[in-house]
Amino acid sequence: MTAVMSRETWQKLKTRYSIYMVVIVMIIVCNALNPNFLSTRNISNIAAQISVTTILAFGETLLVICGLLDLSCGSVLALAGVLSVYIFKETGSMAVAFGAGLFFGVVCNYVNGILVRYFSIPAFIATLAMMTMARGGALLFTRGQNIYQIGDYVWFGQGQIGFIPVPVVFMVIIGIVTWYILGHTRFGRSLYAVGGNEEAARASGINIGRIKIQAYLINGAFVGLAGILLMSRTNVGAPNAGQGYEFEALTAAIIGGTSFSGGLGTAGGTLAGAFIVGFLNNIMNLLGVDSYLQQVIKGAIIALAVGYDMWAKVNRTKKSLGAVELSSKPKEAKS
């Protein structure tokens, strides 16, 4: 019996944590390919590089779990970013600029939420529209010109707290916020239920419309923050920044086990997904892989990683490994 149980536990570990195993395998392989890989500097470098898309990915995770998505985050990031930079140059206040960045992110996503809730526009279309509008807005506001000389503003993206880069600190904070929301709040439970079966969630007394709007609002704050970090990291308020980031963010979330059919996903998975993509970019750069070839390899590895994860999950229903006797008492079977 104990042997059976331990196999069962192993099976559970494998299916539940398969994505983290991919991360560990990647670390081992990358380290073998390049011994510099695991240096503190390189790792903190990678973390800083992925921080912006990872923060976006946490927002996408919340949305995709609840059956929504945000295609506009790359553009809204640019709009919120340039506005924040502009306000910093006008006021000279870091706090005001920071608040403004979040605010504009939230406003755009409030519009997303309204379109989805009150006009029943599918999230895909609503946020596609917002993607175009926000990009246009950013270009219009700056007349297509970059805003240079951003002064102290660079602290958000380039400063350090101790030896940890500020954007990494933000990434960790947002990760913890996402983890807490999903695992420990009513709102998180409702997100899973709405995404898993909207009609059942409604019949259970959950205010679906409100949940969707709230999900967009939180996403908005994340996107605004990402905008601030990106502008600051690159030293410039660039209205063209962040193009294609929505797909990078979605990729990280999906690799991390968030399901497009809704109701599934975790913060830890998304972080793992983001690191997988980050490691991949990093090692290929370290190895000097041709940048066109990099894209091909990246695509293939993404397919592989998700494929392995799916295989590990599906496999458990096919194999008879670790089956225990059916017990009528839930307590007994739990062990």
Partner 1 sequence: MTQDTVLEVKHISKSFPGVKALDDVSFSVRRGSVHVLCGENGAGKSTLMKIINGLYQPDHGETLIRGERVKIDSPIKAGELGISMIFQELNYTPEMSIEESLFAGRWPTRSLGRIDWSAIRSKTLQLLQQENLPFDPETKLKALSISNLQMLEILKAISRDADIIIMDEPTSSISNKEIETLFHKIADLRARGKAIVYISHKMDEIFRIADEISILRDGRVVETRARADFDIDSVIALMVGRALGHGYPKEEVAHGEPVLEVERFSGPTGFRDVSFRVREGEIVGFAGLVGAGRTETARALFGLDPGAHGTIKVRGRTSKIGSVQDSVACGMVMLSEDRRRFGIVPVRDVKENVTLASLAQFFRNGHLHNAMERKKVTDICERINVRMPTIDSPVGTLSGGNQQKVVLSKWMLCNPDILILDEPTRGIDVGAKFEIYKLMTSFVKERKSILMISSELPELIGMCDRIYVMAGGRITGELARAEFSQETIMRYAMNMPKAG
Ligand X SMILES: Nc1ncnc2c1ncn2[C@@H]1O[C@H](COP(=O)(O)OP(=O)(O)OP(=O)(O)O)[C@@H](O)[C@H]1O
Instruction: Please pick, from the candidates 30, 68, 147, 193, the single residue that binds partner 1 as defined by CB under 8 A.
Output: 193
Between residues 95 and 203, which has the closer beta carbon with respect to partner 1? 203
Which does residue 117 touch among partner 1, ligand X, none (CB within 5 to 8 A, set by kind)? none
Q: How far is the CB of 254 from ligand X (least distance, A)?
A: 23
- The token duo for 200 is 């059942």
Contact set for partner 1, span 253-282 (CB under 8 A): 259, 261-264
317 is an interface residue for ligand X by CB under 6 A: yes
Which does residue 9 touch among ligand X, partner 1, none (CB within 5 to 8 A, set by kind)? none
Q: How many residues of this chain interact with ligand X, rule: CB under 6 A? A: 2
Between residues 202 and 316, which has the closer beta carbon with respect to ligand X? 316
**Distance (Å, whole) CA 107 – CA 212:** 15
- Residue 11: how many other CB atoms lie within 10 Å: 17
Which does residue 323 touch among ligand X, partner 1, none (CB within 5 to 8 A, set by kind)? partner 1
174 is an interface residue for partner 1 by CB under 8 A: no
Q: What is the DSSP letter of 146?
A: P
189 is an interface residue for partner 1 by CB under 8 A: yes
**Phi, psi (5° rounding) for residue 242?**
80, 15
291 is an interface residue for ligand X by CB under 6 A: no
41 is an interface residue for partner 1 by CB under 8 A: no
Instruction: Please pick, from the candidates 190, 219, 232, 251, the single residue that binds partner 1 as defined by CB under 8 A.
Output: 190
Contact set for partner 1, span 307-326 (CB under 8 A): 316-318, 320-326
- The token duo for 286 is 């370290």
328 is an interface residue for ligand X by CB under 6 A: no
**Phi, psi (5° rounding) for residue 77?**
-55, -45
Q: How far is the CB of 316 from ligand X (least distance, A)?
A: 9
Angle between helices 73-91 and 123-142 (to 10 degrees): 30
Which does residue 216 touch among partner 1, ligand X, none (CB within 5 to 8 A, set by kind)? none
205 is an interface residue for partner 1 by CB under 8 A: yes
- The token duo for 29 is 């392989």
Between residues 203 and 326, which has the closer beta carbon with respect to ligand X? 326
Count how many residues are written for the chain: 335
Which does residue 28 touch among ligand X, partner 1, none (CB within 5 to 8 A, set by kind)? none
**Phi, psi (5° rounding) for residue 87?**
-65, -35
Contact 272, 23 (CB under 8 A): yes
Report which of 106, 105, 86, 84 is spatially closest to residue 95, judged by C-alpha positions: 84
How far from 76 is each of 56, 62, 108, 168, 222, CA to CA, in Å? 11, 17, 7, 21, 11
Contact set for partner 1, span 115-154 (CB under 8 A): none
Residue 242 burial by Cβ neighbours in a 10 Å radius (0-12, 13-18, 19+): buried
329 is an interface residue for partner 1 by CB under 8 A: yes
32 is an interface residue for partner 1 by CB under 8 A: no
Stretch (H or E) spanning 133: helix 123-142
By CB under 6 A, name the binding residues for ligand X.
317, 326
